[in-house]
Amino acid sequence: MSSLLVTGAAGFIGSNFARYWVDSHPTDSVVALDLLTYAGNRENLADLGERVSFLQGDIGDGDLIERALRDNSVDVVVNFAAESHNSLAILDPGRFVRTNVLGTQVLAEAARRVGVERFHHVSTCEVYGDLALDDPGAFTEESPYRPRTPYNASKAGADHVVRAYYETFGLPISISNCANNYGPYQFPEKVIPLFASRALDDIALPLYASTANRREWLHVFDHCTAIDVILSEGRVGETYNVGSGIEASIEQIADLVLDVLDKPQSLKTIVPDRPGHDRRYLLDSSKLRSELGWKPTVDFEPGVRATVEWYRDRREWWEPLRDRAPVLEDTWAPSITGGSQ
């Protein structure tokens, strides 16, 4: 039996992971930590009831984190807590450095003081920079870090902090760099729920002008299974790329959403690219597959269709969240003052 602290647990990936973990490891205890700023939603964990213990707090609050680790006899920390929206990072880069870099350092220091058995840090493919659309290669765990946006740079900084805590202090860490996730409970600022929620109300879908830019897409359930196998079988101090190998452009995503909802192509509209808009990400996840035996199980098109149908059937979940979004992608203006995930 283990005790986990899951940070960012009321966000998209964190809440899916908490749900996955209590279903797959019912004898373990899970403490779900989240600051509950704009993209954190307590309702994401409502169906878990007493199967998780919820704690509202900031990963940058070292005293709170250390008390939580000691009081709950935490063995494993899984860190999802992050500001994660590239567009918001362009408008307010400082908050990304504060949460993603400084907050991660405070969290790692608390884990070091308490002596946890594993500190797993969840990162992104975007730390490696971008690939040309015709590049035949993919990013490996040995690829150099070349972040191009404030969000990417803040996640790269966090990765370096975590790795330094392993090399300098012996903190037993692991890091996973994942492809773009999709699935239920994703805040409606991100592209698939953004397109689904807007299409349902016959509102234009904003496509960046570089419509051929591509992303690798990974269902959140497959991401959760990857972290599980890394925690159980992965080597301490190692980094593992988590990807599906499936790429799709923003226009292909829009077309799929419109098809699922039986909405017209005329809803697609072109908006200017955001600054630093990366062309393409693709991860080589052969290390995770060959060493640990992991593979994705959710096929892309049916996975996206099921996700869009989830939003179609959960208007009561996403409609109250839509006005929280601090960036309007079609106007490039802040709509509210937001918070961290």
Here the CATH number for the domain that contains residue 110 is: 3.40.50.720
> What span, in angstroms and rounded, lies between the C-alpha atoms of 106 and 102?
6
Asked if the model's pLDDT at residue 274 lies above 80, the reply is no
Q: pLDDT grade, residue 330 (50/70/90)? A: low
What's the domain range around 176?
A: 3-182+220-242
Mean pLDDT of all residues in 1-28: 97
Decide if 68 is inside a domain: yes
Mean pLDDT of all residues in 113-137: 95
pLDDT of residue 213: 87
Q: pLDDT grade, residue 334 (50/70/90)? A: very low
Decide if 302 is inside a domain: no
For 209, other C-beta atoms within 10 Å of its C-beta total 11
Encode pLDDT of 172-205 as tens digits.
999 999 999 999 999 998 999 999 999 999 999 9
Decide if 197 is inside a domain: no
- pLDDT above 90 covers a percentage of the chain that reads 84
* Mean pLDDT for the chain overall: 93
Burial of residue 109 (CB within 10 Å: 0-12, 13-18, 19+) is: middle
Q: pLDDT grade, residue 338 (50/70/90)? A: very low
Decide if 279 is inside a domain: no
CB distance 216 to 128 below 8 Å: no
Asked if the model's pLDDT at residue 225 lies above 50, the reply is yes
Tokens for 274, please give them.
């955001």
Decide if 13 is inside a domain: yes
pLDDT of residue 86: 77
Q: pLDDT grade, residue 279 (50/70/90)? A: confident
Decide if 229 is inside a domain: yes
Decide if 206 is inside a domain: no
Angle between helical axes of 300-312 and 315-322 (0-180°, round to 10): 80
Asked if the model's pLDDT at residue 327 lies above 90, the reply is no
Decide if 89 is inside a domain: yes
How many separate domains does the chain show? 1
Mean pLDDT of all residues in 293-300: 98
pLDDT of residue 302: 98
Q: What is the pTM of this model?
A: 0.94
Encode pLDDT of 57-115 as tens digits.
999 999 999 999 999 999 999 999 999 887 888 889 999 999 999 999 999 999 999 99
Asked if the model's pLDDT at residue 139 lies above 50, the reply is yes
Asked if the model's pLDDT at residue 209 lies above 90, the reply is no
Burial of residue 276 (CB within 10 Å: 0-12, 13-18, 19+) is: middle
pLDDT of residue 278: 75
pLDDT of residue 325: 80
